[in-house]
Chain A
Amino acid sequence: MSDLVRNFIRLIVFLLVQVFVLNKIPFLHQFVVPYLYYLFILWLPFSLPRPALLIIGFFTGLLLDYFMWQPGLHAAACVLIAYIRPFIIGLLIPKDTNEFNYREPSPRAMGWAPYTVYALVMTLVHHSYLTLLEWLQFGTFLQFLVKVLATTAISMLLVFTAELLFPRKVKYRTNTA
């Protein structure tokens, strides 16, 4: 399966799960909103050029927005995490590309600790920005903080569940392919 097809299927599955499962689970608490769809952006290949990453992020968010009827909200957050993604990856993986030739970020490729940091930072940024945009229209500062923390916690739980349930096979980029 080529990268394009694989990621296209992934996008559809993530959106369907987000829209029809996670958004519909019975109400837990006003601060707990389970988000998982942005894991799609975390899983995009390393090789993507940065403008392409931004545009993919924008359309991922926009697709969810049209389902959720909040046009622009998730798109803005996705563009932001797509923008900071290369910086965080640059900090966390070895600079020497000869040694490092995995295709996409995963616990096996990066190691559990760096991957956790990567997922945590991206999650935190995504939720902070998302909640900030909502908070501009509504709510108090304490609500904002608690919501960011609670939503990040539940999202991290979902991310790890997804990683453990669907361990992606580590494939090496080779010259033969």
Chain B
Amino acid sequence: MLNIFAFLRRYFTFIVFVVLQFVSLWMLFSYNRFHRAAFLGVASEVTGRVNTQVDKLDDYFHQGEEARRVHRMNDSLLNLLKSNFEFQDTTQRLVVDTLHFDSTAAIRRYTWRDAKVVYNTINSEQNYLQLNRGSRYGIRDEMAVLNSDGAVVGVVVNVSPNFSQVMSLLHVQSSVSAAHQKSGTLGKVEWDGKDPKYVWLKGVSRSVDVKVGDSVVTSRYSYNFPPNHLIGTVSQINSDPSTGFYLLKVKTAANFSTIQQVFVVENLLREEQLRLSKETDKKMEQQKNKQR
């Protein structure tokens, strides 16, 4: 027993060192896998408060640019107003609707919520944004984040009551289901950790006709992102000789270094889609067992 105490006293510093190393590495690896860590909720509240104060100051330097951007956005929306269009008489006809309910009413699939970016980096390999809205505002994990022009920014990975954390498109672990708009071919957008202006579109077959300047948008089959929102434009066409797929360099539509206002988009049918796909998997598994 005495020997144990002697040992502990002799190597106390080393033991503390090993324990602290172990704790930090455990935090790091568990966070990288699940995006969860101890005290992250509390930490998020604290860092969020500090970031909000600094961001308030930072806003003064971007006001002119921000006003111009909002004006441009208003302009594009005003152009869509019905009053801008004339309907030719020949296309109008009287129809008696025999249905008892309005069959044209659509089911809402996406809800948009506004949020403000309070902290954002671009020069790490794992970039995150912090938003000033959290679970109290209805924000949940896996919701899509688009910038105020509707271009893709990232996905929510963590929420605390008043703040939420977004994994930016510029994160080496991020992978967004995307499509080449002109042909509709699906692929995946990933980042290689190098230049924050460019991401890569992978998985587009070389048989597709791709030109520089083509739009890359979010795919129709994504569970998180609303379809047809711009991710970027093709800036360089490489082909991967080993796979027969293109490796397309895509210039991001969102300018990540000056990002200010964003929308957090909730897919209201996401749960249903996920449940359906899970049940399908289960059913197929049962089928497999039946055949045997």
Contact = CB atoms under 8 A, between A and B. Distances in A.
B28 A70 contact: yes
B121 A23 contact: yes
Interface in B1-60: 12-13, 16-17, 20-21, 23-29, 31-32, 37-40, 43-44, 46-47, 50-51, 54
Contact of B32 (A23, A27, A57, A137): A137
Contacts of B119: 67
A44 interface: no
A168 to B, nearest CB: 27
A80 B14 CA distance: 11
A58 B20 contact: yes
Interface stretch (A3-11, A47-55, A95-103, A107-115): A47-55
Contacts of A68: 121, 124, 128
B123 interface: yes
A69 B51 CA distance: 13
B13 A54 contact: yes
Interface string B163-183: 001000000100000000000
A94 interface: no
B172 A137 contact: yes
Contacts of B25: 72, 76, 133
Overall SS of chain B's interface:
helix
Contacts of A58: 20, 23-24
A59 to B, nearest CB: 10
B125 interface: yes
A159 B32 CA distance: 30
B257 A79 contact: no
B6 to A, nearest CB: 17
A50 to B, nearest CB: 4
Contacts, number: 103
B123 A27 contact: yes
A68 B50 CA distance: 13
A174 B170 CA distance: 54
B275 interface: no
B13 A71 contact: no
- With most chain B CB atoms within 10 A of its CB, the pick from A69, A75, A139 is A69
A169 interface: no
A137 B126 CA distance: 11
Contacts of B21: 76, 79-80
A27 B37 contact: no
A28 B16 CA distance: 38
Interface string A112-149: 00000000000000000000011001110000000000
Interface string B188-222: 00000111100000000000000000000000000
Interface of B: 12-13, 16-17, 20-21, 23-29, 31-32, 37-40, 43-44, 46-47, 50-51, 54, 119, 121-126, 128, 130, 165, 172, 193-196, 257
11 contacts: A23-B124, A27-B122, A55-B20, A69-B165, A72-B28, A75-B20, A75-B27, A76-B21, A134-B125, A134-B126, A137-B172
Interface of A: 20, 23-28, 30, 32-33, 50-51, 54-55, 57-58, 61-62, 65-73, 75-76, 79-80, 83, 133-134, 137-139
